[in-house]
Amino acid sequence: MTNRDDWLIDMDAGPIFVQIAKNVRRFLARGDLTVGEKLPSARDLAARLSVNPNTVVHAYSELEVQGVLETKRGLGTFVREDAPVETMQQDLLRSAAMRYASELRRLGVSTKEAMAVLQEVLDAGET
């Protein structure tokens, strides 16, 4: 999470604050970020990502509304202990599956064939 390259922010992919929030959820789902962990200050993260601090603030409030983050006065912004990590993991998995599925549809491949390829890839241990 400390590396700027881990954050996927694309100027053509919609509002930055939405992307920042998505990234935070992704890090939580993958375990790069854990519950109770402190997030960098809006300004620090903004400097690291070279984005306007307002977008980070906006992202953090969105995540607060969604019950993922909480602000502790004077201490900073933290991941809530009760943050719905499993739900995020499910969502991530689901959207990965949807991307795979839409690719399949475009290629016109049957479900059976698709599952076989998936099994093969998983068995080979490729990431």
Partner 1 sequence: MLAKLDDVTKLYGKNDGLRDCTLAFPKGEVVGVLGLNGSGKSTMLKLLAGLLFPTAGRVTVFGGAPRANRARIGYLGENDALYTWMKPADAERFMSGLYDDFDAVRYRELLDVLAVPRRKTKAMSKGERGRMRLAMALARDVKLYLLDEPLAGIDLLSREKILTSLVREWHTDEAILLSTHEVAEAESLFDRVLLLREGRVALDASAEALRSEGKSVVAAFREVLS
Using CB under 8 A, list all residues that contact partner 1.
9, 11-17, 43, 46-47, 49-55, 58
The answer to whether 35 and 85 are in contact (CB under 8 A) is yes
Closest separation between CB of residue 40 and partner 1, Å? 13
DSSP secondary structure code for residue 6 in this structure: G
Closest separation between CB of residue 62 and partner 1, Å? 12
**Considering beta carbons, is residue 10 or 123 the nearer one to partner 1?**
10
Closest separation between CB of residue 36 and partner 1, Å? 27
**Considering beta carbons, is residue 12 or 86 the nearer one to partner 1?**
12
CA distance 49 to 45: 6
Closest separation between CB of residue 55 and partner 1, Å? 7
What amino acid occupies position 61?
A: S
**Considering beta carbons, is residue 29 or 46 the nearer one to partner 1?**
46
Terminal Cα distance for the chain, rounded: 19
The answer to whether 9 and 55 are in contact (CB under 8 A) is no
**Considering beta carbons, is residue 30 or 48 the nearer one to partner 1?**
48
**Three-class SS state of 68:** coil
